[in-house]
């Protein structure tokens, strides 16, 4: 992904998830003695610091009761296995970097699947009801470019508009214990969300583990089109398109996962570079005209393209500037290397 979210947006607003985990741990602890200890009744089972905010949420009480009753019927070993999964499925950073593995819900006894899923689905719904989701989104919106970091192309609307998708980065169908954990919940444009769906970000299709970007701890990457070939692409009604070679630096396993899950290269080529190349060349012509730049030599043209690429490089990610910057940087490199066919093509386009 192209940039990360501030981790404080997740950690500072994560009280509901922390509360749910604390209650579940107390339920497990009450079963660890030879004679199960009586649990406090609702709402006393809610830790005191969260009680006022949750005591009227009786739907939560019902789901916790079902979880406890189901858990009581399992063996001690099974109860331990589930408690371990509650912990492990929430170690998001370690899981994404492959420093830890966790068990998916399919490994648990069948009886506990629905109680866990229902409990955390309800927790996820409560994020909206309790306005946690909006606070989380605002904290992200205020500190990042207003665009989806998974594609860099779709704008994010301000709070108060239709909500952007909030993706369960670790799929809730397999890792439900992370279902209300903001550290695992990621605003994403609807297009990216429609590519990701319930794909398992931790595991490849062949069942092996893979590394993924951590949306809350992600260093910047750079897109390069330098290895594209100016006249080797498809011929469209508006002219010939370069044959695109989309590279990312640094070239890591996280990039491979991102591309596999979100089809990034394919989408850039099909939806951005191919259909927009001609209009971006026309933009360059208009810019030269308004700046009164009329290159009369190869060197002057190379300098004009360099200025234009630099302009977009300094714009960062907004309005697809990172893609335009890469296109003109690639054209600059090829012209600088003396590609006479390309120089002639761009010169002709300016007149
Ligand atoms: Zn997107």
Cα dihedral across residues 185, 189, 190, 192: positive or negative: negative
Residue 193 confidence (pLDDT) above 70: yes
* Centre of ligand 1 from the C-alpha of residue 149, in Å: 6
Query: Furthest-apart CA pair in the chain: how many Å?
Result: 91
Using the structure block, give the residue that is written with the tokens 């893609």: 323
Quote the ligand 1 centre to 108 CA distance (angstroms). Answer: 34
Instruction: Tell me how far the alpha carbon of residue 83 lies from the centroid of ligand 1, in angstroms.
Output: 35
Ligand 1: centre distance to CA 193 (Å): 7
**pTM, full prediction:** 0.93
Residue 240 scores a pLDDT above 90: no
For the chain, give the percent of residues with pLDDT over 90.
89
Residue 95 Cα to ligand 1 middle (Å) = 23
235 forms beta bridges with 240
Please report where in the chains the tokens 């007149």 appear, as a residue.
Answer: 351
The mean pLDDT value for 75-86 works out to 97
| The pLDDT of residue 36 | 67
E strand or H helix that includes residue 7 = helix 7-11
Cα(186) to centroid of ligand 1, in Å?
11
Q: Residue 336 C-alpha to ligand 1 middle, in angstroms? A: 34
Q: Can you tell me the mean pLDDT for 13-41?
A: 90
| Nearest of 277, 198, 268, 194 to residue 234 by alpha carbon | 277
- What gap in Å lies between CA 312 and CA 325, rounded to an integer? 5
Residues 255-305: tens digit of each pLDDT: 999 999 999 999 999 999 999 999 999 999 999 999 999 999 999 999 999
The answer, yes or no, to whether residue 152 has pLDDT greater than 80, is yes
Can you give the pLDDT at residue 219?
Answer: 86
For every residue of 89-107, DSSP letters joined together read TT-HHHHHTTS-----GGG
Task: Say which residues have a Cβ less than 8 Å from residue 275's Cβ, sequence separation at least 6.
Answer: none
> What spacing in Å lies between the alpha carbon of 326 and ligand 1's midpoint?
19
Q: Locate the domains of the chain by residue range.
A: 7-196, 222-350
Mean pLDDT for the stretch of residues 50-77: 96
Contact 109, 85 (CB under 8 A): no
Q: Which residue has the tokens 């741990």?
A: 25
Centroid of ligand 1 to alpha carbon of 271 (angstroms): 13
CB 86 within 8 A of CB 156: no
Cα of 164 to ligand 1 centre, how many Å? 10
């Amino acid at each position: 992904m192209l940039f990360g979210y501030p981790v404080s947006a997740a950690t500072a607003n994560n009280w509901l998830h922390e509360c749910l985990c604390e209650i579940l741990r107390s339920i497990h602890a009450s079963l660890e003695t030879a004679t199960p200890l009586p649990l406090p009744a609702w709402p006393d089972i809610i830790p005191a610091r969260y009680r006022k905010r949750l005591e009227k949420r009786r739907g939560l009480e019902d789901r916790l009761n079902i979880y406890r009753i189901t858990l009581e019927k399992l063996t001690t070993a099974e109860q331990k296995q589930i408690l371990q999964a509650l912990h492990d499925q929430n170690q998001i950073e370690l899981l994404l970097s492959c420093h830890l593995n966790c068990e998916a819900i399919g490994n648990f006894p069948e009886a506990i699947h629905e109680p866990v899923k229902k409990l955390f689905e309800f927790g996820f719904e409560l994020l909206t009801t309790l306005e946690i989701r909006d606070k989380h989104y605002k904290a992200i919106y205020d500190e990042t470019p207003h665009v989806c970091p998974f594609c860099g192309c779709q704008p994010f609307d301000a709070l108060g508009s239709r909500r952007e998708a909030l993706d369960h980065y670790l799929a809730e169908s397999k890792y439900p214990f992370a279902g209300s954990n903001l550290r695992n919940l990621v605003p994403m444009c609807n297009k990216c969300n429609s590519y990701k769906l319930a794909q398992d970000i931790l595991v490849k299709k062949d069942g092996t583990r893979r590394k993924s970007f951590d949306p809350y701890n992600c260093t910047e990457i750079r897109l390069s089109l330098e290895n594209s070939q100016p006249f080797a692409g498809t011929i469209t009604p508006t002219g010939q398109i370069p044959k695109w070679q989309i590279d990312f630096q640094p070239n890591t396993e996280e990039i491979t996962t991102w591309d596999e899950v979100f089809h990034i290269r394919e989408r850039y080529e099909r939806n951005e570079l191919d259909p927009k190349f001609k209009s971006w060349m026309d933009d360059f012509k208009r810019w030269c005209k308004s700046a009164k730049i009329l290159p009369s030599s190869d060197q002057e043209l190379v300098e004009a393209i360099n200025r234009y690429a630099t302009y977009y490089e300094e714009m960062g990610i907004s309005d697809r500037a990172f893609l335009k910057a890469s296109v003109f940087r690639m054209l600059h490199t090829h012209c600088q290397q003396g590609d006479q066919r390309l120089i002639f093509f761009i010169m002709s386009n300016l007149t």
